[in-house]
Structure 1
Amino acid sequence: IYRANACIEGCTKSTQLVESLKKRLIAEAKFFRAYSYFYLLNIYADVPLITGTDFKVNESKPRVPITEVYNQIIKDLSEAEADLQLSNESSERVRVDKAVVQAFLARVYLYTKNWSDAEIAANNIIDNPNYVLETDLDQAFASSGREAIFRLMPANPGFETPEGFLFVPSNSSTIPKYYISESLLSSFSAEDKRREHWLNKNTVNGTDYYYPYKYKTRRQSQPSSDFTERYNVLRLAETYLIRAEARAQQDKVDDGLEDLNRIRGRAGLQDTTLSGKDELLAAIFNERRLELFAEGAHRWLDMKRTDRIDAIMPAVAVIKGTTWSPEDKLWPIPFYQIQSNPALTQNPGYQ
């Protein structure tokens, strides 16, 4: 956030940059500021809203209500959308453009229950011919895939994606550090192509351990220019599910069902028929679990924003040998932040 603020201030004051480049750089910085605040809100709830670089002002900023921060997020994204062009620079899709902002706006509007705006923002992406649902599921996360709206370039030599390094075991005889729960595994039907293409397993001492396999490569020895995977920040499948939910919330059940079935059909599943809004919303919630698992904390945030988390997590906690408390929905404010800023208060349950 500080770097985004510094970029915005520096570019605004610059007399050397041509106006078109200045607008683009400021818009990109506003996107990253909004993106960062989105996750801060959903991890910690109220946070200080900092839009400048004066450390004397920033060091004593108090936490402000979530709605105020969301207003700033939407303001930043709306201004960025206006100042960016539609077409991305290259097929790699690693720069923020208008479509990237529109896709993220759709998510923000969904989280803030602005259903009509979420649908409109999602329409912009779904109607854009540059983005298509990959019929080959192994292409969905490939660097050449057309489903990605925004990707990140590899930051470190030898590592294509952080997910590949985290999830793919170093060898076939090792228990994966992160493996799929039995609950999630059993949620995939036998004919679901995602089970075949996005899960892999190691068998250790007679036990099968399934792990996320959306990204296939743990490490690479070739130059980063030859990498075959990029980390997907935003992709078209999420946008379809956003529109499905936004339509369902507006009682456009048939339209929402059509979007849901686009995702199911790509996974090799038959169209589903549902009797009403509540059934559709429940089906979308479940489909998001199957489609977006191990991506961007979607499952955790979906449970929170739909108020299902306190019904789901107690059973999960028992499996993990612990207990669940409603305060666990939020993370604690880091102690060093509270020490350095007396205006900050700790989240409930961590005092």
Structure 2
Amino acid sequence: MKAVVENEHGGPEALRITEEPTPEVGPDDVLINVSGAGLNRADTMQRKGKYPPPKGASNVYGLEISGTIAHLGDDAARTSFLKQGQNVVALLAGGGYSTQVVVNHAQVLPAPAGIDLVDAAALPEVGATVWSNLFGPGGLNPDGPEQKDGEQSVLIHGGTGGIGAHAVQLCRALGYHVFTTVGTQEKADWVKDLATRQEQANQRKTKPKRLGELVVINYRDQDFAEVIEDKTEGQGVRAILDVVGGDYLSDNVKSLSLNGLLTVIAVQSGPTGELNLARLMSKRATVRGTTLRGRTSEKKGEILRNMAGAVWRLIADGLIDPAVERRFAFDDVQAAHEYFDSGEQLGKTVLVMH
């Protein structure tokens, strides 16, 4: 099989496609012929030597793929719902930048209906990340907001990233009012256009849902904490999904409602920040940090099943778009990473493997 193996660190030029042996298929495993591989910030961090794969994971890049099942191990065939020839997506600890992947069957889902199989590669990592961090223990109600002050709003930092774009659409589709931060007018317009397409899809439904409102904040021109304080009349937001880290810690806590939850999933501005403990205590709020990559196959499978039960229906209804803005041929993997590093990226980027 062809694959991009982690052999050296540096810029996009460090990525090279080589011929590698197909991994052995164990009893609980599935062999997938890969159609598409999603790019994620974790891939670029790994390339730079700042985010190594978990112990025992593949040294091939890539955390999410779509494709077709070529073979199932004996136990996977006997105990799972998966079938040979089925179109699927998979959440990986590594291995996605390859023409074939072997993964535990718990980490595999049928591909969602209504979208192209290659574009479906944009969903497993962002879907599992958003669902587990916003709708897990202590988070938002997946059935929609309770009609209480501070229970109806959420803040998503980085609304034009893959995770941000998915979170904005999902929260609005479930009825939450969404604040999101972006860095340019172009990016603000992109998020608003994505929201407009969601609203148009909703109006085509026989029974349209009540979508949450959207407020896009250009953090270069506006203070997001001040905007939230004004728009929520001082109540704050119930949950915050943060990819920025240290620089935003103080204003994030300021923006939380009573019993609010701040989840930090990346630290693009640095790993340390100032925390007002008195403010945190007075709000009875929670700050937590999580990662997804190192969790067990069983835990990943649980997250995927819970996520897909809600998200796959919304995709079929057109209320969540994979937001794939750029496709690159597998041979152009270096160019894909150059685009990702440029800061111009919008939505998701996908490698086309065949």
Normalised by the length of structure 1, the TM-score is 0.27
Larger helix share, 1 or 2: 1
Q: Please, what TM-score do these two structures have when normalized by structure 2? A: 0.27
User: Radius of gyration: which is bigger?
Assistant: 1
Higher fraction of strand: 2
